[in-house]
């Protein structure tokens, strides 16, 4: 079984918009899958992928898309709460610089996680692509992250990208930017769905985390694509965040390339709702979800959303294919802030407030973020030249620096963008949307938990000291200010209870319990219970007790 790139640009060998539309239903699905470039663990050659080439619209992507060496990369820790969560940002770049036909770029990266982080995922936070010589038309472009898996404490994934005109013979460089979130499921109640799914008819289309479609029915360059995820583990969760993992654009069939005026993507508001009888984009099909009755459903394991795309030159509308790849992150500690954002086709782009022809960066600050942990997600963007359509040398938009101060509740990020031809004239305009992925909403009531700086295993709570006569117990407050309470340690011969002072938000206190005879660092089992008299109204009452053991 080959793991790899399943299409970024796939073509049907018919010229002209009318002819393409007339023949698509009869020839498109069985022979040519037009999907987003994804990385799925299925045999590549079963999906019949192609990129537009002179004289032939059939270029299979299988053994011809080997893993490439990274030409540059970086990984940095953004923040960490030891024992609970760690978040990284990074990027990877690769090049295709062949004589003649170029390669789809496919890379693999990995990240060694702390021992406590036994669950993790990665999502896309930007992209950048550049022809290495001169400027050219664009046939298609895309970036995607897939084949995500956790092997022991190593998170692994693959990413792929392409930038091409119609003959795919121009060398290019491609980069993608990503964010990794890793957590301890004992401390954070999060569920992730980052599977890929099977392409074409080889699997249940409702279980694919991607779709691809043409802009049929649209009268302008703006297209709308409804989609959904279905996962039984999402049921009863108030929020499911949709994490961006990739996109792909491809001009209409017939091996045509064009100038570029405008390109845009908007992963719009998502909700834990599914509409009965509605057709949604899944895999390469339109799917009507199977529901238990004729009613639409809320909070039943579904999350749905609408995605908008624009691919445009000076012409008002052309046929194009679009694809998207996502993940879902759910749990009672997940929240999202989704700023209003829309994209519209440009008819007269004579806006003088352009950002110049080269790469431009701007810093943004968001205050009063109501989460203990906050992560920016680039879920919407638009790039356009300021006047007419042009050739392209380089294009992209990405978050390359960010940080969150949970004490000040302030998120900061730097966003960069570029769209230029070879002489950097005219300049470009960029717009974007950052959705804030929030984890652990700031509580309005306290949340007391037993805590050990050594981790969450039973042995981590074996903190016997003072010649074996005292057991140190730490009580941490994850919520709002907590009043006085009681903490109990139950040993084999009975419970011992101590008064616990008031603990402010984010604070902790240490208590020293007398260790009974017969209990030592070599042999002692016990159970720690905070707020053991139920004096405090807490946001979470099930995380008050842990077991400890010395052996």
What's the confidence (pLDDT) of residue 18? 38
**pLDDT tens digit string along 326-355?**
999 999 899 999 999 999 999 755 544 444
**pLDDT tens digit string along 359-381?**
899 999 999 899 999 999 999 99
- Over residues 276-284, the mean pLDDT reads 94
What's the confidence (pLDDT) of residue 201? 56
- Over residues 6-25, the mean pLDDT reads 36
Q: Which of 435, 391, 480, 56 is nearest to 241 (CA)?
A: 435
Residue 333 has φ and ψ, to the nearest 5°, of: -110, 15
In the chain, what are the domains?
Answer: 4-197+209-286+295-441 (no CATH), 448-550 (2.60.40.10)
- Over residues 287-307, the mean pLDDT reads 94
Place 238 in a pLDDT band, splitting at 50, 70 and 90. Answer: confident
- pLDDT over 50 (residue 141): yes
Task: Report CA-CA distances (Å) from 193 to 207, 325, 328, 329.
Answer: 10, 12, 5, 6
Q: What is the mean pLDDT of the chain?
A: 85
- pLDDT over 60 (residue 28): no
460 neighbors 410 (Cβ within 8 angstroms)? no
489 neighbors 471 (Cβ within 8 angstroms)? yes
Q: Please report, to the nearest 10 degrees, the dihedral formed by the alpha carbons of residues 229, 233, 236, 241 taken in order.
A: -50
Does the CA dihedral 455-458-459-464 come out positive or negative?
positive
Helices (H), 186-284: none
- Over residues 8-13, the mean pLDDT reads 34
Q: Which of 164-168, 354-358, 464-468, 476-480 has the lowest mean pLDDT?
A: 354-358
**pLDDT tens digit string along 166-224?**
888 999 999 999 999 999 999 999 999 999 987 665 678 889 999 999 998 889 999 99
- pLDDT over 90 (residue 240): yes
- pLDDT over 60 (residue 60): no
């Amino acid at each position: 079984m080959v793991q790899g790139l399943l299409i970024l640009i796939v073509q049907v060998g018919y010229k002209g918009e009318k002819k393409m539309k007339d023949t698509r239903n009869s020839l498109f699905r069985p022979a040519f899958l037009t999907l987003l470039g994804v990385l799925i663990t299925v045999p590549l050659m079963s999906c019949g992928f192609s990129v537009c080439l002179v004289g032939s619209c059939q270029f299979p992507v299988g053994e011809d898309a080997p893993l490439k060496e990274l030409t540059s990369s970086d990984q940095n820790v953004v923040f960490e709460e030891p024992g609970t969560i760690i978040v990284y940002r990074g990027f990877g770049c690769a090049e295709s610089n062949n004589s003649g036909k170029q390669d789809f770029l496919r890379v693999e990266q990995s990240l060694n996680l702390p021992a406590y982080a036994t669950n993790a995922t990665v999502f896309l936070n930007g992209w950048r692509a550049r022809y290495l010589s001169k400027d050219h038309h664009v046939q298609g472009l895309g970036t995607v992250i897939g084949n995500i898996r956790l092997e022991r404490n190593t998170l692994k994934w693959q990413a792929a990208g392409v930038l091409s005109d119609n003959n795919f013979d121009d060398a290019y460089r491609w980069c993608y930017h990503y964010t990794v979130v890793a957590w301890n499921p004992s401390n954070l109640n999060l569920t992730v769905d980052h599977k890929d799914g099977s392409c074409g008819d080889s699997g249940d289309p409702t279980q694919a985390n991607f779709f691809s479609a043409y802009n049929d029915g649209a009268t302008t360059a703006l297209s709308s694509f409804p989609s959904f995820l279905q996962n039984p583990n999402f049921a009863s969760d108030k929020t499911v965040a949709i994490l961006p993992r990739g996109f792909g654009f491809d001009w209409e069939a017939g091996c045509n390339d064009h100038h570029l005026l405008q390109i845009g993507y908007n992963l719009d508001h998502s909700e834990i709702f599914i509409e009965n009888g509605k057709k949604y984009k899944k895999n390469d099909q339109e799917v009507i979800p199977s529901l238990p009755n004729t009613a639409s459903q809320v909070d039943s394991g579904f999350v749905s959303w609408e995605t908008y795309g624009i691919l445009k030159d000076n012409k008002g509308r052309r046929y194009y294919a679009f694809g998207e790849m996502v993940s879902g992150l759910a749990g009672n500690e997940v929240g999202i802030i989704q700023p209003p954002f829309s994209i519209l086709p440009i008819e007269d782009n004579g806006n003088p407030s352009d950002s110049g022809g080269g790469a431009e960066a701007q810093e943004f600050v968001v205050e009063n973020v109501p989460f203990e942990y906050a992560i920016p997600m680039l879920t919407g963007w638009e790039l356009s030249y300021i006047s007419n359509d042009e050739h392209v040398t380089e294009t992209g938009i990405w978050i390359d620096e960010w940080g969150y101060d949970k004490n000040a509740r302030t998120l900061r990020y730097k966003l960069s963008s570029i769209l230029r031809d070879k002489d950097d004239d005219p300049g470009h305009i960029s717009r974007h949307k950052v959705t804030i992925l929030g984890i652990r909403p700031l509580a309005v009531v306290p949340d007391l938990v037993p805590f050990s700086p050594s981790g969450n295993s039973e042995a981590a709570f074996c903190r016997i000291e003072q010649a074996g006569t005292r057991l140190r117990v730490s009580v941490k407050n994850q919520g709002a200010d907590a009043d006085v309470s009681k903490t109990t340690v139950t040993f084999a011969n009975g419970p011992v209870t101590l008064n616990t002072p008031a603990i402010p938000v984010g604070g902790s206190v240490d208590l020293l319990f007398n260790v009974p005879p017969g209990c030592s660092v070599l042999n002692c089992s016990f159970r720690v219970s905070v707020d053991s008299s139920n004096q405090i109204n807490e946001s979470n009452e099930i995380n008050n007790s842990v077991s400890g053991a010395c052996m």
